[in-house]
Structure 1
Amino acid sequence: MKRGILVLTNTSQRKSSKKVPILVSAPLYWCPRCNVPLLGSKCGKCGGDGYRLRVTPPGDVRPALSGDLKRLKAALLDYFDSSEAVFEFIDFRKPILLNKIPYPDAADEVIVDGQIVGHLFYDVLEEKWRFKPLYSGVARILEKKLAPYAVISLERVARRFEVKKTEIVELSGEWTRGRFISVGLASGRQQAVGVIIRGRIRILKVWYSKSYLELPGTPTWLDVIRANEKYLQEKEAEAIKFIKDMVKKVKKPIFVSFSGGKDSLVTYYLTKTALGYAPPLLFNDTGIELPETVSYVKSFVEKENARLIYADAGEKFWHAVNIMGPPARDYRWCCKVVKLTPIAKAVEKVFPEGAVSVVGQRKYESMARARSPRVWVNKWIPKVIAIAPIQDWSALDVWLYIMRNRLTPNPLYFLGFDRLGCWLCPATELGEMRTVKEVYPELWSTWEAFLRKYGAAKNAPKEWIKLGLWRWVKIPGDIKRILPKELDKLTIRRGIEFSIKSEGSRLVIELEEGEIIHEKLREVLKIFPGKVKYRVSGKSVIFEDKKWGIHLLMALVRALFCVECEACALKCPASAIKIDGYPHIDAAKCSHCLICNTSCPIAVYTLKIKHNLNIEKLKNEYGL
């Protein structure tokens, strides 16, 4: 069965609303005569057919840039017994591709000469990038006798089989526990990759033997562009036509959402070409952007003589993180505070009647984006229609377009960064965070200092920081498998600590932190119709009537732990909320719809985190 991004989508051929899975995987071909990757099946350089190169889906391959090549060389130098072996194994003058693959942390398939030669991955426990040879890479090692390798006398092997030293007829390289080693059968029937354990080799993966295909020449990236020129022209023409059609259809002002990354760079130039002028660019400074990105965006806008719409979250992340704790992949309060709300505010100010936002979204980036249509309305900015002209482009499409048109990408890509954005995002892998630490040590030390302080207050083990476990509230299974057993059930509570109980008609909420300030609480309780009666006893707030249920808790959180993100004010349909340290309610305007409660990321995530992100469980447990 093929693997890739499986997307559940409604099928028009059926009357029912049942969803069916669709496989999303970017096609990739290789020209064996020109030795270049192809985006389509025909080579534009020699006119011949390319062969389909099977890579791990979704196959969002990208060029190995200077920072990537530096990392790859370092991992190969660490793997092989000599530096000479590294350059016999890979000719770094040729185009090299990387393809992200599922691993416990950051990992790529390494593709050269139209073949997968191995995996470059970040070893979380050893805290370094490592290389594991595979397929054609193992064949090349065995053919050229590049240590480490072993030839064994067995007739066949299988995965997890352990080869004894007495069964090895030829061995080259240092025998080090945990080291990957290429394995060939003396009969020539099979090849494998194994790992050295004690006095044996444990087979990790095995396949029928193949040879390394040494393709001709040392093509350049200019050759790659020439081979794909027609394909790029067609992609460009389709995207430009799509933008023009949408502008005519929607008839609203247009702007480009510009992150400073490669995808938004290409999207901007496509939009500029379609319109015939430089469109405004919207940049959201989350307050945790890398300095190079902020300076790149500003210099780019100046060079293009374009209008910059600057959404600015300021210090809101650092204010909120002291209340909510570190964000996590399953606890992403930060997106609402430092991304969606500042963007919505900026757009509402500049385009009060709505607009078209051109975004650099691509379907091969994630399952969520693969499910997304090409045109949609964001629920946080309902007056804005988002369109994605490069939705069907792969990362290689994007990079070849950048090279072909001599566009200037963010220089961080050449320092080893693949994704840009919030530099401490929990969706980032440890291998990527290591790059942040190397390039911006002062920034990373600030975050580590916060994690150490927060972890100490929660009695978190040192592995919580060292292994990046703070990136999850509930640690997933693939990560648990590589952890010591004592960390299997590790749970570090975060967010606002409280207890809640129902006593007859009353609701009692006890806070473990914060100060109960009557002035703030009375102000926010104006969102309810009529007077809400309550009294305070120590750290407890006792509401006399629990009929408003968890909305009372949400109002309490909003009153005492406001981070001034202004999400509630932005979402209020009556414009009845002003933020000045905390929410101030205009009772004459308020319609008591309680949308402000459900719009507050601090209140919503406080409820979610209480019961493993399950609000219904909270409701049922307390009879609310």
Structure 2
Amino acid sequence: MKHSKKQRRTGEHIHWCMECNTPLADRICCRCKGQGRRIQLTEPGDIRFASEYENQLLSGLLMEHFGTSPFDGRIILLNKVPGDDRSDEVIVDGIKAGLMWFDPVTKKHRFRPTADGAALLLETATENVVTIEDTGRHLSGKKVKPENTAGIPESPVLIRTETGLAGAGEWQESGILKIQDIKRSGAQLLPETPSMEDIIAANIDHIRRLGKDGMNIIRGIANQKQYRKMPVQVSFSGGKDSLVVLDLALSALKKRDVKAVFVNTGLEFPDTVEFVRKHCRERKVPLTEESAGNAFWENIDSFGPPGKDFRWCCKVCKLAPAAKAVENCSSSNGTCLTIDGKRRYESFSRSSTPASEMNPFVPGQLNIFPIRNWRAIEVWLYIHWRKLDYNPLYDTGFERVGCYLCPASMQAEYEIVKKKYPQMYQQWNSYLKNWATEHSLPEEYIDHGFWRWQSHPPKMLKLAEKLGIKTKPAERKGRFEIHSVSGTSPCTAGGYSVEANVTGLTFSEVEGVMYVMGSITSSEELGVIAVNTDEFSITYYSTGSLKVRAGSRESAEEIFNTTAANLARIRNCTLCGLCTKVCPADCISLDQGLRIDESCNACGRCLDSCVAARYR
């Protein structure tokens, strides 16, 4: 992720006032005027306050592992870090105390202390404490076998030495203890236990400055001459970020009509729908609710489960209602100002978000992003400072409050859905299980969240191997058809994309003609065929999903149509041999059906001459 030096300094660390025991979004504490101690963070550094659910979860894990929970009642920060599923650095009293994560194998949360965290826990721990000999050598990463001591494999252990070292480790087989981190630590819990009001007081100058800057961004764009009379709407999803921008917009444009727009995908949590309506009603904000209705379920049979790398659902459930909302909002010149809560820390694709831009997804919409550089902790500080009611789902363990079956969600969140919304979970899980059966995939494929990808990343392939789960779906043949998903739209990775689903072709048949489109990379084991050139990319999955991406809308549509025509040749081929006669590379074979080998130079002459390609 590329940021400017200023952005990098902001995103990778936070400060902590050791006098007041409060986290600081800036360097100086507004309570005692002292300078906070810098804490380096793992990227991207979108640090947040632990929710009520996360506090209870951590407390339960500490009691389970070590028989103590000394962090109760303290302000705890969580910093999301890379992992197999949900993983967070835990920071308490200015100390990186450990890592809390969800294990997708056991479907349970786990906690591993740092050496500093171990020092804090050793003060009161009664379980899983081991004393080892200090050999005077470097011990981190080493394996030892304490006398007359053994534990359950993979269970966490607090380690101390008679010379005062503190550390953490994990039991392995045969009573072997692997030391993960150990050192001479002076870490101690601080005497102060601040309230949220104390934390706001310590950060008040920074919060006010953020709010003022956000309002100035809104005013600076909305009050420009060409936009002054245009209608203004806030994209209000019911999440924390859109809650803040709604408040900023109402404060910045007091003499101007501002309305909220809620795009109901038909897959929202009931709590979210209720919160959006209640909040707007209590603040007397006009609310427009545009619904996708049953669009997701009407299209699922054609396209299958959406994936992180194949989000057809966004086009069907978000773009169509959003376009309707803009159409209803637009001024006489066809433009609508929309204030949006997008932040650059949320994802790699949002890291270069400007202050405003025309929405490439929805023509006629100028988006304004007043909190694009805010971190999650700053969003929450603003919410608490302004005493804004927020979506109650945040207190129940959800980090994001979008669609309940979104493939971008963590498996940890699906476990919460399973408990909190059993009927919704069962409807989706039943569909997934039936889909898996139709594709000869085991139930475990669904249980461990493999459905969330068309092409699985290395971490998921490693997990599948560990669990012995098949990840390649069986091929299904039938009538040849290509269904595209709501036309062409901008792609988060850049350019424009077209998604579609192909039926009636085998993986081998598709592989046999794709050299016409360019040099291919193919893996039957992974079930993916890819064509990547400087101008475009084509990805085909064994499930039948097809994705085309190019630099412009016109190019994406052209490449998609050419690809579709190329695939139509397979099913419609009459073995007339005309393509072999026009091919300058002599790379086409008809002995076992139409096949084109790697010597193809992608000139396209065979495709231009093929009558079968014109009928699909």
Please report the TM-score for the alignment, with normalisation by the length of structure 2.
0.75
How far residue 607 of structure 1 moved from its aligned partner, in angstroms, is 10
How far residue 233 of structure 1 moved from its aligned partner, in angstroms, is 0.9
AA aligned opposite 1:306: V
Contact 1:480-1:488 at 8 Å conserved across structures: no
Deviation sequence 1:526-567 (CA, Å, 0-9, x none): xxxxxxxxxxxxx89xxxxx9xx99xxxxxxxxxxxxxxxxx
Match for 1:33 among 5, 19, 24? 19
1:131 corresponds to 2:111: yes
How far residue 485 of structure 1 moved from its aligned partner, in angstroms, is 4.7
Contact 2:441-2:474 at 8 Å conserved across structures: no
Match for 1:379 among 346, 360, 370? 360
The size of the alignment, in residue pairs, is 506
Secondary structure at the residue paired with 1:425? coil
Structure 1 CA distance for aligned equivalents of residues 564 and 401 of structure 2: 25
Paired position in structure 1 for 2:437: 456
Secondary structure at the residue paired with 1:490? coil
Q: In percent, how many aligned pairs have the same letter?
A: 31
Counterparts of 1:109-258 in structure 2 under 5 Å?
109-153=89-133, 154-157=135-138, 160-166=141-147, 175-188=151-164, 191-203=167-179, 205-249=180-224, 250-251=227-228, 252-258=230-236
Paired position in structure 2 for 1:572: none
Structure 2 CA distance for aligned equivalents of residues 267 and 464 of structure 1: 39
Paired position in structure 1 for 2:36: 50
Runs (5+) with no aligned partner, structure 1: 1-5, 12-20, 500-509, 515-523, 525-538, 541-545, 551-592, 609-616
AA aligned opposite 2:39: L
Secondary structure at the residue paired with 2:280? helix
How far residue 27 of structure 1 moved from its aligned partner, in angstroms, is 3.7
How far residue 26 of structure 1 moved from its aligned partner, in angstroms, is 4.8
Counterparts of 1:187-586 in structure 2 under 5 Å?
187-188=163-164, 191-203=167-179, 205-249=180-224, 250-251=227-228, 252-276=230-254, 279-351=258-330, 353-485=334-466, 487=468, 490-492=471-473, 511=480
How far residue 266 of structure 1 moved from its aligned partner, in angstroms, is 0.7
Paired position in structure 2 for 1:558: none
AA aligned opposite 1:304: R
Match for 1:7 among 2, 5, 18? 2
Contact 1:333-1:602 at 8 Å conserved across structures: no
Match for 1:72 among 53, 58, 65? 58
- With over 3 angstroms needed to count, the CA separation of the structure-2 counterparts of 1:53 and 1:122, relative to structure 1, is same
- With over 3 angstroms needed to count, the CA separation of the structure-2 counterparts of 1:41 and 1:331, relative to structure 1, is same
AA aligned opposite 2:103: D
- With over 3 angstroms needed to count, the CA separation of the structure-2 counterparts of 1:594 and 1:356, relative to structure 1, is closer
Paired position in structure 2 for 1:577: none
Structure 2 CA distance for aligned equivalents of residues 303 and 487 of structure 1: 53
Contact 1:156-1:185 at 8 Å conserved across structures: no
Contact 1:76-1:130 at 8 Å conserved across structures: no
How far residue 25 of structure 1 moved from its aligned partner, in angstroms, is 1.7
AA aligned opposite 1:37: P
Contact 2:119-2:166 at 8 Å conserved across structures: no
- With over 3 angstroms needed to count, the CA separation of the structure-2 counterparts of 1:22 and 1:215, relative to structure 1, is closer
Structure 2 CA distance for aligned equivalents of residues 602 and 144 of structure 1: 67
Runs (5+) with no aligned partner, structure 2: 488-503, 506-512, 518-551, 568-597, 609-616
Structure 1 CA distance for aligned equivalents of residues 565 and 393 of structure 2: 35
Secondary structure at the residue paired with 2:298? helix
Contact 1:27-1:39 at 8 Å conserved across structures: no
- With over 3 angstroms needed to count, the CA separation of the structure-2 counterparts of 1:489 and 1:457, relative to structure 1, is closer
Contact 1:108-1:121 at 8 Å conserved across structures: yes
Please report the TM-score for the alignment, with normalisation by the length of structure 1.
0.74
Structure 2 CA distance for aligned equivalents of residues 36 and 604 of structure 1: 58
Contact 1:79-1:130 at 8 Å conserved across structures: no
AA aligned opposite 2:287: L
Contact 2:166-2:182 at 8 Å conserved across structures: yes
AA aligned opposite 2:31: K
How far residue 198 of structure 1 moved from its aligned partner, in angstroms, is 3.1
How far residue 300 of structure 1 moved from its aligned partner, in angstroms, is 1.5
How far residue 367 of structure 1 moved from its aligned partner, in angstroms, is 1.1
Match for 2:81 among 101, 104, 110? 101
How far residue 107 of structure 1 moved from its aligned partner, in angstroms, is 1.5
Secondary structure at the residue paired with 1:482? helix
How far residue 605 of structure 1 moved from its aligned partner, in angstroms, is 11
Deviation sequence 1:1-43 (CA, Å, 0-9, x none): xxxxx1279x9xxxxxxxxx97872541110010011111111
Structure 1 CA distance for aligned equivalents of residues 560 and 340 of structure 2: 24
- With over 3 angstroms needed to count, the CA separation of the structure-2 counterparts of 1:596 and 1:366, relative to structure 1, is closer
Structure 1 CA distance for aligned equivalents of residues 96 and 287 of structure 2: 43
Structure 2 CA distance for aligned equivalents of residues 175 and 22 of structure 1: 42
Structure 1 CA distance for aligned equivalents of residues 266 and 129 of structure 2: 49
Contact 1:162-1:200 at 8 Å conserved across structures: yes
Aligned alpha-carbon RMSD (Å): 3.5
